[in-house]
C-alpha cells in the first residue's frame, strides 16, 4: 500500500517515474500523480476531429483504420508501413519505419479496427501524419467483444501529455497508484461532507480518473473543487485571524487640519462615490487595525484624489504617507499634480506657504546625488508629510520618521516582496495600505473574491469627464481602415486636439525583439529602481496567452499560451516606436509635430517630452506603454494602439484611459492583424465595455487565476486545477462560510489532522511566507 506522500518509483516503476517527473511542475509522489487530473474525457467510439490538427501539436486522436500498406525504403534497407486512419471527416497517416519486415504490425493495424493514436503532427508531401505514434487498439484481445462493451460504457481520460509519455501511459500509472493507495483519513470534515452532499476523497479520486459515467465524474469534480476552495479558504481564514492581531497607529481625522483646508480650497465638488469612498477609508485609518483596502475605480474616476485626501488625514494625525508609482514618468506626474492641487498647503517653510502646510518629496532612481540626499533627509526627518517615488522608495537607505499610510498606484506592477519592503519601514506598528487599480489583475481578483481584500468601488466619473469610444481596426483584412485611422488622427489635430500612438516595443539594435516587456526604463534600473519598465508586469506583456483548448475540466494542462501565442514564432516582429515614428513622419502624418517617448530615454528627456506634450507643443506622441497609467493630458482625445492583440486586457484598458480626460470625447482604435479567433475576440470584448471588473473576469476566463497562494502571476501554472472564479463563485462563498466557522472553532485545526496535513502539503514554506507578507 502507498501513502500520498510516498515516491512514485516503487508504485509505477523506474521508467514511468522518470517520465512522470517531467510533466507539469514535476510529478514525484503518489499524491502528485493523483492530483494530475485529465484534461478532458472521450466516450468510447466517439471520433476526434482530425481536420483540426496542426503541425507541431502533440495529440491523441481516436479514429478507425481505413487502410494499411508496407513498402521498401528507397535509399537504405528497411520498410515503411503507412496506415491511414479516419474519423469520418478527415484522414491522417500513421508512419512506422522498420529495419526489417513489419508483418506483425500490418496484421495488428487491420482496416476497420478503432484505436487511440498519439504523437506529434507533421506534414509530408501535403499529407498530415504521425511518425511512430504510440497507440492502443480498442476492443482488441481474446475478450475483444466483451472489452468493447466495457469500453462503450466508460469515459476515456485524456491527460495533458508530452513527447516522452502519452496520455494512456499516464492512465496506466494512475491505475497502479489507485490500486496501491492507502488514504489516512479524509481531509474534508464529515459534517461538511454531509451538509453539502459530497462524496469521499478516495471515491472522488477514483471518479475523476476512472469514471464509469458522467454522473460519477460530476460528483468527483464537485468534491475536488470543494477541496480546493475549502482548503484555500481555511488558509485565508487563518491568515485573517492572525492579521487581526496586528496593531496599527490610529490616524483619525483632525478638525481644522490640512484635509479640511484642502477640501475648502477645491475648485470642484467631489462626486458621491468619492465622498463615500473617502468616508470608508477615513474610518479604516482611525482604527487600530491596519487597513488593507483595494480602491477599484474606472479609469478617470478620481482615485488619486481619494488617495490624496487619505494621505492628508494621516499627515494631520502626525504621520507620513508614501505613494509608490510604477514608473518614473508617473511618479514625476503625481508629484507635479499633487503639488499643484495642494498649492500653498505643500509649501511648508517656503515663502507663500500656508500656516499649516507640509512638504511633498519626490524620490526616483535617476535623481542626482544632491536632490536624492534632500529627499532622503525630508523623509527621515518627517519634514515631508507625503513622499512620492518609484521602486527607489524600497531601498535600505530610505527611512521614514513615522510612516502611517502606503498608497500603491496600480498595485499589479509590484510584487509582495516589494510591498513588504516598504511596509517594514514603519516604526509605529504596521502601516495602513491602500492599493489602487482600474483593472484588477487575475491574482488580485482571485484574492478579492476569495476574501483577502476589502474593496471600495468608484463607478461615477467626475463632472466634465467624457466617454471613450473604442473600435477594433482589422488592418490586414481591411487596410483602408488603417489609412482612415491616420486621416482621423490628422482631423483630430486640426481640431486642436492631441493624439497618442502606442507600440509594443521600442526598436533599435538593443531591442530584445518581439516582446512588449522588453521596454525597461534604463534610468530607473541603473539607479536601483528595479522595475520601472514600460509594460505591466502582471500582463506578461503579450495579450496572446489565452485559454487555448483547455477541455471541459482542465485548468492546467497546457502552458496557458493559447492558440494565438503558438503561432508567435511565425508572426512578424511587433511594431516599434522608433520605426513607426519615422514612417509616420515621412508618410501619413508628415505635416504634424511628432515626438517619441519610451523607457530607454534618459529621465530628463522623458520629462522634457512629456512636458512638451502636456503644453501642446507636440501633436502626436509615439510611445510605448510608459504612458499606461496616470499620465494626464486633458487635450489628448485619441489613441491608436498598434498590434493591440499583443497587449493584455489590463494594459489596453489602462492605455485608453489616457484619452477623454477633458471636455471632449475620447476615441481609441485597436489596430490588429490578428485573424478570427481568441485574440480578436478579446479585443472585441475590450471595445464593448469600460467595466474594469468585467474585463478582469475576461482575463480570468482566458488566463486563469494564477497561483493564489504564491507569487506566480496568471498565465503561468495555477494552484487551482479545477476551480474557477468565474463559474464557481457560489461554491467559493459556501466554502468560505464553512472555513470561517471551522477556524473560529478550531484555529489550529487540532481536531482535523487529515485537513491539517493536506493544507501543509499544499502550503509549502515559500507560499506560507508569501501569505505572511501579503
Question: Residue by residue, what is the 3-state secondary structure of 567-604?
Answer: CHHHCCCCCEHHHHHHHHHCCCCCCCCEEEECCCCCHH
Cα–Cα distance, 754 to 503 (Å, whole number): 53
Summarize the confidence of residues 678-700 as an average pLDDT: 83
- pLDDT at position 611 over 60: yes
Task: Please provide the DSSP assignment of 326-364 as one string.
Answer: SSHHHHHHHHHHHHHHHGGGGBTTSTT--SS--EEEEE-
Which of 128-132, 149-153, 638-642 has the weakest average pLDDT?
A: 149-153
% the chain with pLDDT above 90: 43
pLDDT: which is higher, 104 or 553:
104
Environment class of 90 (CB within 10 Å of its CB; exposed 0-12, middle 13-18, buried 19+): middle
Sign of torsion, CA 621 388 696 512?
positive
- pLDDT at position 248 over 70: yes
Summarize the confidence of residues 325-348 as an average pLDDT: 89
Q: What pLDDT was estimated at residue 425?
A: 75
Q: What pLDDT was estimated at residue 493?
A: 97
- pLDDT at position 236 over 70: yes
Q: What pLDDT was estimated at residue 711?
A: 46
- pLDDT at position 598 over 60: yes
Tell me which residue of 677, 719, 736 sits closest to 555, measured CA to CA. 719
Q: What pLDDT was estimated at residue 718?
A: 53
Q: What pLDDT was estimated at residue 546?
A: 28
Q: What pLDDT was estimated at residue 677?
A: 84
Cα–Cα distance, 459 to 757 (Å, whole number): 43
Tell me which residue of 47, 44, 214 sits closest to 138, measured CA to CA. 44
Q: What pLDDT was estimated at residue 417?
A: 58
Average pLDDT, the chain: 81
Cα–Cα distance, 471 to 466 (Å, whole number): 16
- pLDDT at position 313 over 90: yes
Summarize the confidence of residues 684-711 as an average pLDDT: 71
Q: How far is CA 716 from CA 193, 413, 546, in A?
A: 32, 16, 11
CA 654 to the chain's CA centroid: 15
pLDDT: which is higher, 450 or 766:
450
Q: What pLDDT was estimated at residue 663?
A: 77
Which of 234-248, 262-276, 535-549 has the weakest average pLDDT?
A: 535-549
- 616 phi-psi bin (left φ>0, alpha ψ -120 to 50, beta other): left
Torsion, CA 580, CA 585, CA 591, CA 596, rounded to 10: 70
Q: Where are the beta strands (DSSP E) in 452-567?
A: 454-458, 468-474, 498-502
Q: Show Cβ contacts of residue 716 under 8 Å, excluding neighbours closer than 6 positions.
A: 560, 706, 707
pLDDT band at 323 (very low <50, low <70, confident <90, very high): very high
Environment class of 24 (CB within 10 Å of its CB; exposed 0-12, middle 13-18, buried 19+): middle
Tell me which residue of 598, 447, 628, 606 sits closest to 536, measured CA to CA. 628
Tell me the pLDDT tens digit for each residue of 138-171. Answer: 765 444 445 434 544 568 888 988 888 888 889 9
The most confident of the ranges 151-165, 196-210, 504-518, 717-731 is 196-210
The most confident of the ranges 149-158, 231-240, 664-673, 763-772 is 664-673
Cα–Cα distance, 606 to 626 (Å, whole number): 10
Q: What pLDDT was estimated at residue 549?
A: 28
- pLDDT at position 727 over 90: no
Decide: 134 and 120 in contact? Cβ < 8 Å: no
Q: What pLDDT was estimated at residue 525?
A: 34
The C-alpha cell of 534 is what?
514600460
Summarize the confidence of residues 115-140 as an average pLDDT: 83
Cα–Cα distance, 518 to 534 (Å, whole number): 8
Tell me the pLDDT tens digit for each residue of 441-458. Answer: 555 565 655 555 678 888
pLDDT band at 595 (very low <50, low <70, confident <90, very high): very high
CA terminus-to-terminus distance, the chain: 40
- pLDDT at position 639 over 70: yes
The C-alpha cell of 127 is what?
499529407
pLDDT band at 415 (very low <50, low <70, confident <90, very high): low
- pLDDT at position 512 over 50: no
- pLDDT at position 272 over 80: yes
- pLDDT at position 78 over 90: no
Cα–Cα distance, 544 to 624 (Å, whole number): 18
Sign of torsion, CA 563 568 572 573?
positive
Beta-bridge partners for 92: 85
Crossing angle of helices 416-423 and 765-773, rounded to 10°: 50
Q: What pLDDT was estimated at residue 531?
A: 33
Identify the three-state secondary structure at position 268: coil
The alpha helices in 318-465, defined as continuous H runs, are: 328-342, 369-381, 416-423, 442-449
Identify the three-state secondary structure at position 282: helix
Summarize the confidence of residues 311-337 as an average pLDDT: 91
Q: Show Cβ contacts of residue 773 under 8 Å, excluding neighbours closer than 6 positions.
A: 416, 417, 419, 420
pLDDT: which is higher, 647 or 59:
647
Tell me the pLDDT tens digit for each residue of 5-56. Answer: 899 999 999 999 999 998 877 899 999 999 999 988 876 444 457 887 888 8
Sign of torsion, CA 255 258 259 265?
positive
Cα–Cα distance, 400 to 378 (Å, whole number): 9
- pLDDT at position 421 over 70: no
Q: How far is CA 54 from CA 91, 92, 331, in A?
A: 13, 12, 47
Q: What pLDDT was estimated at residue 444?
A: 55
pLDDT: which is higher, 430 or 279:
279
Decide: 231 and 762 in contact? Cβ < 8 Å: yes
pLDDT: which is higher, 524 or 585:
585
Cα–Cα distance, 463 to 770 (Å, whole number): 41
- pLDDT at position 436 over 90: no
Tell me the pLDDT tens digit for each residue of 357-412. Answer: 999 999 988 888 899 999 999 999 999 999 999 888 888 788 999 999 999 886 54
Q: What pLDDT was estimated at residue 302?
A: 84
Cα–Cα distance, 263 to 307 (Å, whole number): 13
Cα–Cα distance, 501 to 623 (Å, whole number): 6
The C-alpha cell of 286 is what?
482611525
Side-chain-side CA neighbours of 550 within 13 Å: the count stands at 20
Decide: 40 and 553 in contact? Cβ < 8 Å: yes
Decide: 669 and 492 in contact? Cβ < 8 Å: no
Beta strand 127-131 with 155-158 is: unpaired
pLDDT band at 135 (very low <50, low <70, confident <90, very high): confident
Sign of torsion, CA 653 656 658 663?
negative
Beta-bridge partners for 638: 499, 667
Summarize the confidence of residues 284-300 as an average pLDDT: 85
Beta strand 40-43 with 58-72 is: unpaired
- pLDDT at position 545 over 50: no
Write the secondary structure of 474-487 as one string of H (helix), E (strand) and C (coil). ECCCCHHHHHHHHH
- pLDDT at position 282 over 80: yes
Amino acid at each position: 500500500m502507498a501513502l500520498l506522500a510516498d515516491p512514485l518509483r516503487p508504485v509505477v516503476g523506474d521508467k514511468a517515474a522518470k517520465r512522470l517527473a517531467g510533466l507539469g511542475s514535476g510529478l514525484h509522489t503518489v499524491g502528485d500523480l493523483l492530483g494530475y487530473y485529465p484534461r478532458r474525457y472521450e466516450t468510447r467510439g466517439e471520433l476526434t476531429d482530425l481536420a483540426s490538427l496542426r503541425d507541431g501539436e502533440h495529440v491523441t486522436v481516436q479514429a478507425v483504420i481505413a487502410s494499411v500498406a508496407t513498402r521498401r525504403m528507397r535509399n537504405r534497407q528497411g520498410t515503411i508501413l503507412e496506415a491511414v486512419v479516419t474519423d469520418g471527416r478527415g484522414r491522417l497517416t500513421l508512419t512506422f519505419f522498420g529495419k526489417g519486415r513489419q508483418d506483425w504490425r500490418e496484421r495488428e493495424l487491420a482496416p476497420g479496427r478503432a484505436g487511440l493514436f498519439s504523437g506529434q503532427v507533421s506534414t509530408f508531401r501535403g499529407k498530415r501524419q504521425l511518425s511512430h505514434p504510440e497507440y492502443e487498439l480498442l476492443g482488441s484481445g481474446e475478450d475483444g467483444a466483451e472489452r468493447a462493451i466495457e469500453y462503450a460504457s466508460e469515459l476515456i481520460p485524456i491527460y495533458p501529455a508530452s513527447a516522452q509519455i502519452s496520455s494512456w501511459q499516464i492512465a496506466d500509472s494512475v491505475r497502479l497508484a489507485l490500486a496501491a493507495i492507502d488514504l489516512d483519513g479524509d481531509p474534508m470534515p464529515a459534517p461538511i461532507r454531509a451538509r453539502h452532499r459530497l462524496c469521499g476523497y478516495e471515491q472522488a479520486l477514483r471518479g475523476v480518473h476512472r469514471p464509469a459515467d458522467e454522473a460519477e465524474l460530476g460528483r468527483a469534480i464537485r468534491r475536488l473543487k470543494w477541496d480546493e476552495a475549502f482548503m484555500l479558504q481555511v488558509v485565508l481564514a487563518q491568515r485573517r485571524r492572525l492579521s487581526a492581531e496586528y496593531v496599527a497607529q490610529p490616524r483619525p481625522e483632525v478638525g481644522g487640519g490640512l484635509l479640511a483646508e484642502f477640501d475648502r480650497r477645491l475648485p470642484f465638488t467631489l462626486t458621491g462615490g468619492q465622498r463615500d469612498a473617502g468616508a470608508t477609508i477615513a474610518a479604516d485609518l482611525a482604527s487600530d487595525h491596519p487597513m488593507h483596502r483595494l480602491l477599484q475605480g474606472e479609469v478617470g474616476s478620481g482615485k488619486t484624489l481619494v488617495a490624496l485626501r487619505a494621505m492628508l488625514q494621516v499627515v494631520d494625525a502626525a504621520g507620513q504617507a508614501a505613494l509608490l508609482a510604477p514608473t518614473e514618468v508617473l511618479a514625476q506626474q503625481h508629484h507635479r499634480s499633487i503639488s499643484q492641487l495642494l498649492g500653498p498647503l505643500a509649501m511648508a517653510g517656503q515663502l507663500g506657504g500656508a500656516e499649516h502646510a507640509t512638504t511633498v518629496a519626490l524620490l526616483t532612481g535617476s535623481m542626482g546625488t544632491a536632490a536624492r540626499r534632500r529627499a532622503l533627509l525630508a523623509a527621515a526627518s518627517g519634514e515631508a508629510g507625503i513622499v512620492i517615488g518609484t521602486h527607489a522608495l524600497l531601498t535600505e537607505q530610505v527611512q521614514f520618521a513615522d510612516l502611517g499610510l502606503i498608497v500603491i498606484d496600480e498595485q499589479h506592477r509590484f510584487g509582495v516582496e516589494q510591498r513588504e519592503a516598504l511596509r517594514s519601514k514603519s516604526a509605529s506598528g504596521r502601516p495602513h495600505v491602500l492599493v489602487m487599480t482600474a483593472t484588477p489583475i487575475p491574482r488580485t481578483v482571485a484574492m478579492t473574491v476569495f476574501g483577502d481584500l476589502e474593496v471600495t468601488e468608484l463607478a461615477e466619473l467626475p463632472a466634465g469627464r467624457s466617454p471613450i469610444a473604442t473600435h477594433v481596426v482589422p488592418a490586414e483584412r481591411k487596410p483602408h481602415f488603417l489609412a482612415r485611422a491616420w486621416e482621423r488622427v490628422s482631423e483630430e489635430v486640426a481640431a486642436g486636439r492631441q493624439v497618442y500612438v502606442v507600440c509594443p516595443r521600442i526598436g533599435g539594435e538593443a531591442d530584445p525583439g518581439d516582446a512588449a516587456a522588453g521596454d525597461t526604463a534604463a534610468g530607473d534600473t541603473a539607479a536601483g529602481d528595479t522595475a520601472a519598465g514600460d509594460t505591466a508586469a502582471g500582463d506578461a506583456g503579450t495579450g496572446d496567452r489565452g485559454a487555448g483548448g483547455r477541455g471541459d475540466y482542465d485548468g492546467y494542462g497546457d502552458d496557458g499560451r493559447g492558440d494565438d501565442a503558438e503561432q508567435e514564432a511565425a508572426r512578424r516582429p511587433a511594431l516599434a516606436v522608433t520605426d513607426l515614428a519615422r514612417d509616420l513622419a515621412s508618410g501619413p502624418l508628415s505635416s504634424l509635430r511628432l515626438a517619441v517617448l519610451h523607457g530607454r530615454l534618459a529621465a530628463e528627456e522623458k520629462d522634457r517630452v512629456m512636458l512638451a506634450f502636456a503644453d501642446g507643443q507636440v501633436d502626436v506622441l509615439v510611445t510605448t506603454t510608459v504612458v499606461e497609467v496616470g499620465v494626464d493630458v486633458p487635450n489628448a482625445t485619441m489613441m491608436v494602439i498598434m498590434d493591440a492583440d499583443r497587449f493584455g486586457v489590463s494594459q489596453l484598458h489602462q492605455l485608453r484611459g489616457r484619452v477623454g480626460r477633458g471636455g471632449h470625447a475620447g476615441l481609441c482604435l485597436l489596430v490588429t492583424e490578428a485573424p478570427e479567433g481568441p485574440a480578436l475576440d478579446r479585443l472585441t470584448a475590450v471595445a464593448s465595455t469600460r467595466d474594469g471588473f468585467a474585463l478582469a473576469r475576461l482575463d480570468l476566463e482566458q488566463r486563469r487565476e494564477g497561483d493564489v497562494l504564491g507569487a506566480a502571476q496568471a498565465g503561468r501554472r495555477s494552484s487551482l486545477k479545477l476551480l474557477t472564479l468565474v463559474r464557481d463563485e457560489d461554491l467559493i462563498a459556501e466554502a468560505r462560510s464553512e472555513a470561517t466557522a471551522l477556524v473560529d472553532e478550531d484555529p489550529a485545526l487540532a481536531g482535523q489532522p487529515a485537513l491539517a496535513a493536506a493544507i501543509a502539503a499544499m502550503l509549502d514554506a515559500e507560499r506560507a511566507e508569501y501569505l505572511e507578507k501579503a
